[in-house]
């Protein structure tokens, strides 16, 4: 059994001040495969102090120096791609075939690097100089469902801005975080600029969020946990960026290509075993077209191959943990009990699988907005298909949610599609299955979060704005020399 006993603080691998250990369970085998050191408040204090010291010098590095650093990080990361793929397959059950999980971070790092070449860190409004400066020490708390990409996005934009970092991964995915710390160390990130502490959200997350020497907190996870982070951060009045839960709706208008909409919805909703906050887990179809769309949904679900995530042929691995597996089973049971019509999947493991936290990809039709599966975020491969009678009702149902992370529209008419996209109260809208990209902002409305990540807007989460008055004459003199 592997044993991970150290944290990365101030450029070194150090033992926790008050060590305790947590066992990691492989979701495919249900067997313990590793133990990881868990930290305490004093470990957070040590990491924050290192980041605060490092900020004094790192915040003054030149843009060229940061660009060169990110290039070195990209190079060191690319050398470890297979290690990352194997680690996340083992710790959270993500198939090695899901290349976006390990390849996606490269694109995000390149976008952040290239922004440094063009972003106006200093501009003018009349005779006033407006400067954008690094905000300071950043506490970065990342989830298990995208364990590498989400962490890389947070870290790379913080470093690009000139900030220093204290990072905490999910208790379910600490090994991939340790690998990333090794990558950053090899790339020559200056001591104290990046620090890693493993531990629970209740202890480490709370200590990071409320720490008086932390200037900003970026958290990705559940809405409930995000609320706790926000409350803790409010005690010392710091900036908070939250990417939280979702119950995204896919509006399939009557003139849409039903087959394309159905197949795409299954693919996008069930990607990563449905463990995605942007998953279109509500599909809204006109009541007259429900029976037409069912065969496409069933056929697309049947294409998934569930099994060992280390097998390149596997397209869906297990759920991350028994607790999450049990939650998904309860939601499937609630759909049955509340009268929805199950057309694919169901309770229990898939046929032929005797162990592991595997759940059947499931689809319900005849779901109403009041049903549990029509309202709550399930975070598993469960799709709720809701009928609507008119398009105004469809938009009303889509927006009748405490969440507003993603939204999707399918229509044969781009003008009508754009109208409905404009009416959706959500942070990212995709038309006819259009792909997202690394340049544009990601974030949510309502209880899906605060702030944005990625691209220019993501960089600005890590910057303060300073207005500087009285230097207009100096600027004119310099310009005239």
CA dihedral of residues 144, 318, 271, 400 (deg, nearest 10) = -70
Q: Residues of 327-342 as b/e, b for ≥16 C-beta within 10 angstroms?
A: bbbebbeebbeeebeb
Q: How far apart are CA 379 and CA 302, in angstroms?
A: 20
**Phi, psi values for residue 182, rounded to 5°:** -65, -40
Look up residue 306 and give its DSSP letter.
B
Cβ contacts of 75 within 8 Å, gap of 6 or more: 187
The closest alpha carbon to 380, from 247, 250, 283, 264, belongs to 247
- The continuous run of DSSP H or E covering 32 comes out as strand 32-38
Respond yes or no: is residue 277 known to be catalytic: yes
Active-site choice (277, 300, 377, 391): 277
d(CA 191, CA 157): 18
Q: Is the alpha carbon torsion for 134, 140, 143, 144 positive or negative?
A: positive
DSSP annotation string for 403-446: EESEEEEE-S-HHHHHHHHHH--SSEEEETT----SSS-B--EE
Q: Where are the beta strands (DSSP E) in 80-221?
A: 122-125, 128-134, 137-141, 164-168, 194-196, 216-220
Q: Where are the beta strands (DSSP E) in 115-213?
A: 122-125, 128-134, 137-141, 164-168, 194-196
Which of 164, 78, 153 minimizes the C-alpha distance to 439?
A: 153
Specify the DSSP class assigned to residue 340.
Answer: P
- Show the tokens assigned to 291: 């029976």
Residue of 138, 206, 241, 243 with catalytic role: 243
List for the chain the helix, strand, coil content (%; round to 5). 40, 20, 35
In sequence order, which residues have a C-beta less than 8 Å from that of residue 171 and are 6 or more positions away?
22, 36, 38, 198, 199, 200, 201
List the structure tokens of 277: 């906050």
R_g (Cα) of the chain, nearest Å: 23
Place of tokens 């209740």: 202
Let me know: does 249 contact 397? Beta carbons within 8 Å: yes
DSSP structure class, residue 286: E
Residues designated as active site? 243, 277
């Amino acid at each position: 059994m592997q044993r991970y006993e150290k944290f990365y603080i101030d450029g070194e691998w150090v033992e926790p001040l008050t060590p305790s250990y947590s066992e990691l369970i492989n979701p495919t085998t249900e067997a313990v495969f590793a133990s990881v050191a868990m930290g305490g408040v004093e470990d957070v204090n040590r990491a924050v102090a290192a980041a605060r010291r490092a900020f004094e010098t790192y915040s003054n590095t030149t843009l060229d120096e940061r660009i060169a650093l990110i290039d070195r990080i990209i190079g060191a990361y690319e050398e470890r791609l297979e290690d990352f793929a194997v680690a996340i397959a083992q710790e959270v059950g993500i198939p090695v075939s899901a290349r976006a999980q390990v390849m996606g971070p490269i694109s995000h790092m390149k976008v952040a690097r290239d922004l440094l070449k063009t972003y106006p860190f200093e501009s003018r409004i009349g005779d006033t100089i407006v400067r954008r400066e690094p905000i300071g020490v950043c506490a970065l708390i990342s989830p298990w469902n995208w364990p590498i990409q989400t962490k890389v996005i947070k870290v790379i934009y913080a470093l690009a801005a000139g900030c220093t970092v204290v990072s905490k991964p999910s208790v379910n995915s600490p090994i991939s975080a340790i690998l990333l710390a090794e990558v950053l160390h090899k790339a020559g990130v200056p001591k104290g600029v990046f620090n890693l502490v493993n531990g629970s959200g209740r202890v480490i997350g709370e200590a990071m969020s409320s720490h008086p020497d932390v200037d900003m907190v970026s958290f990705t996870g559940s809405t409930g946990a995000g609320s706790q982070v926000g409350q803790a951060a409010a005690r010392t009045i710091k900036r908070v960026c939250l990417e939280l839960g979702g119950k995204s709706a896919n509006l399939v208008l009557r003139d849409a290509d039903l087959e394309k909409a159905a197949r795409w919805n299954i693919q996008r909703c069930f990607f990563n075993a449905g463990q995605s906050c942007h998953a279109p887990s509500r599909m809204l179809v006109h009541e007259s077209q429900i029976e037409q769309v069912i065969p496409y949904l069933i056929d697309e679900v049947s294409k998934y191959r569930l099994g060992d995530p280390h097998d390149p042929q596997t397209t869906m691995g297990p759920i991350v943990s028994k607790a999450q597996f049990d939650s998904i089973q309860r939601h499937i049971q609630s759909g049955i009990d509340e009268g929805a019509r199950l057309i694919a999947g169901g309770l229990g493991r898939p046929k032929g699988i005797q162990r592991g936290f595997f759940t059947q990809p499931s689809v319900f039709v005849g779901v109403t907005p009041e049903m549990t599966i029509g309202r709550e975020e399930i975070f598993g491969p469960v799709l709720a298909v809701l009928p609507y009678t008119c398009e105004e009702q469809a938009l009303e149902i889509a927006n009748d949610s405490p969440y507003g992370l993603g939204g999707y529209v399918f229509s044969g008419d781009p003008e009508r599609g754009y109208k409905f996209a404009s009416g959706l109260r959500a942070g990212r809208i995709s038309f006819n299955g259009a792909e997202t990209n690394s340049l544009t902002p990601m974030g949510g409305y309502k209880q899906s979060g605060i702030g944005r990540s990625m691209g220019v807007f993501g960089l600005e989460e890590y910057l303060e704005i300073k207005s500087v008055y009285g230097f207009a004459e100096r600027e004119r003199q310099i310009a005239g020399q």
